[in-house]
Structure 1
């Protein structure tokens, strides 16, 4: 009997897959039996990260997720290769830190473009594919997980662009869940706290480290590998009756004042 949380034979599209959280998510999904559509703007990193996998397990696509034509081509090509796309993890993101009064318009726009508009572009393209599957008779056309952040629920310091984008992701999640529930498409978001990646390196330095650790009930930052299993759960059949939810995977950070 297949475990309900298995991802066996599911084709999962992961954005920002070449490193950090995206790589950990893709690796865990592969261990759970999935085939991966790995998307990242850094083609060299993508090739290096998945060098040990053939095209039957991982298909690699280098490009910008804000480019609608690129994303549409990825969805069409991967769906043809794998017989459909069963899941999407909208993970790709960037940071451009600055205090509100010092933030330049290009810093604001760059983060909004990738972290919010890019999420929409991928959500839309994969959603169209899943709706077509539903109309063709698929009982379980697919599941989508949008990666948000506690910054989108609590606000953040020195990254108003990031906080605004991640808050917007929560709105995208709820709207898509409402529209696509009739097709049995599940759309949820997960809100991470402080994960040990290159993007959080500055705030994990000694100057800020204890301020954040003191606010995490579990008293530690998480490794990417620690948040991957709970995230991938929402792509599995075990989560078939969960939609429109925002689940914190943050060691309790969101509950502290």
Structure 2
């Protein structure tokens, strides 16, 4: 290993399983000290919670000679997010990187999606990104004002569902799209404090994706074969974005899947027409059809 994260203190939320666990292990392998956050709830956020998953990852890291502590707080609450940042400072005396990853699913078609399922998914994904980011940013702002600006990094977790949409996941897609907007604002606002903020849209085999991609996400059958959908394939990009080596990269969204990294290029001005005066509805429609014919078609919605 290169030790690209040597000496850095990294928080990973939702790190008891799946992508979060892979990120935590990858950071530790590169020399980081890791705060492993996880509530230990079920796929839909139920189950009462358990300290087991977070502690198991901490034990793995320590068994490999690394340093880590567990945190079982709810990052979608102000108290939990504040205690998460405090856990890093209490255990290791600093905070360098925040990886927002926690989430769960409550999938329904829109006509069957109730308010509780909407609110729960928006809360864990969007509020669960906002609050840790807010508390970490407050710490980094205070450090910068005290003359101790760090090479701070935030890696948020969006999704292809947030970029393209996903049938049966209106709540999840909306939350993941909002995370991109939050990322762009945070990158602009926090740059003055030495903080870089980026987002990833990962694809990997986890509890959250096993049903959606059951036909394409099986592990390889032969020993030594490349497991294209292993969560650990996403982690190298996350570790690099979370390290000082990513200096100058902020406000970007990356898709990461198997051995592929893609820079996602979002909303940009495409074909345009200007009459110089008010259109009639018929004129607006005629002009719009011509613009659409000259534009790039959107990517297909997942599951359509």
TM-score (norm 1): 0.88
Any unmatched runs of 5+ in structure 2? 41-50, 218-226, 265-297
Tell me the alpha carbon deviations over residues 120-157 of structure 1, each in whole angstroms, 9 at most, x when there is no partner.
01110111111111112224241100011111110111
How far apart are residue 56 of structure 1 and its match? 7.4
Identify which of structures 1 and 2 has the higher relative contact order when contacts are C-alpha pairs closer than 8 Å and 6+ apart.
Answer: 1
Greater gyration radius: 2
1:124 to 121, 130, 134: 134
What's 1:51 paired with? 59
Instruction: Tell me how far apart the structure 2 counterparts of residues 21 and 150 of structure 1 sit (CA, whole Å).
Output: 15
What's 1:228 paired with? 235
How far apart are residue 63 of structure 1 and its match? 1.9
What's 2:17 paired with? 19
Tell me the alpha carbon deviations over residues 79-103 of structure 1, each in whole angstroms, 9 at most, x when there is no partner.
1321210000000011111111111
What's 2:75 paired with? 65
Tell me the alpha carbon deviations over residues 201-238 of structure 1, each in whole angstroms, 9 at most, x when there is no partner.
111224xx49xxxxxxxxx8521011100111101112
Q: Does 1:113 align with 2:123?
A: yes
Instruction: Tell me how far apart the structure 2 counterparts of residues 221 and 95 of structure 1 sit (CA, whole Å).
Output: 23
What's 1:214 paired with? none
How far apart are residue 242 of structure 1 and its match? 0.7
How far apart are residue 50 of structure 1 and its match? 2.1
* Structure richer in helix, relative to its length: 1
How far apart are residue 52 of structure 1 and its match? 3.9
* 36 and 138 in structure 1: CA distance in 2 versus 1, 3 angstrom threshold: same
After superposition, residues 23-102 of structure 1 pair within 5 angstroms as: 23-42=21-40, 43-54=51-62, 57-102=67-112
How far apart are residue 53 of structure 1 and its match? 4.3
Instruction: Tell me how far apart the structure 1 counterparts of residues 202 and 130 of structure 2 sit (CA, whole Å).
Output: 19
After superposition, residues 150-189 of structure 1 pair within 5 angstroms as: 150-189=160-199
What's 2:206 paired with? 197
TM-score (norm 2): 0.75
Secondary structure of the corresponding residue to residue 51 of structure 1: helix
Secondary structure of the corresponding residue to residue 172 of structure 1: helix
**8 Å contact 1:130–1:141 — kept in the other structure?**
no
Q: CA RMSD, aligned part only?
A: 2.3
* 181 and 191 in structure 1: CA distance in 2 versus 1, 3 angstrom threshold: same
Instruction: Tell me how far apart the structure 2 counterparts of residues 56 and 82 of structure 1 sit (CA, whole Å).
Output: 13
Secondary structure of the corresponding residue to residue 229 of structure 2: coil
What's 1:245 paired with? 252
Secondary structure of the corresponding residue to residue 198 of structure 1: coil
Any unmatched runs of 5+ in structure 1? 211-219
Instruction: Tell me how far apart the structure 2 counterparts of residues 199 and 52 of structure 1 sit (CA, whole Å).
Output: 22
* 66 and 45 in structure 1: CA distance in 2 versus 1, 3 angstrom threshold: same
What's 2:154 paired with? 144
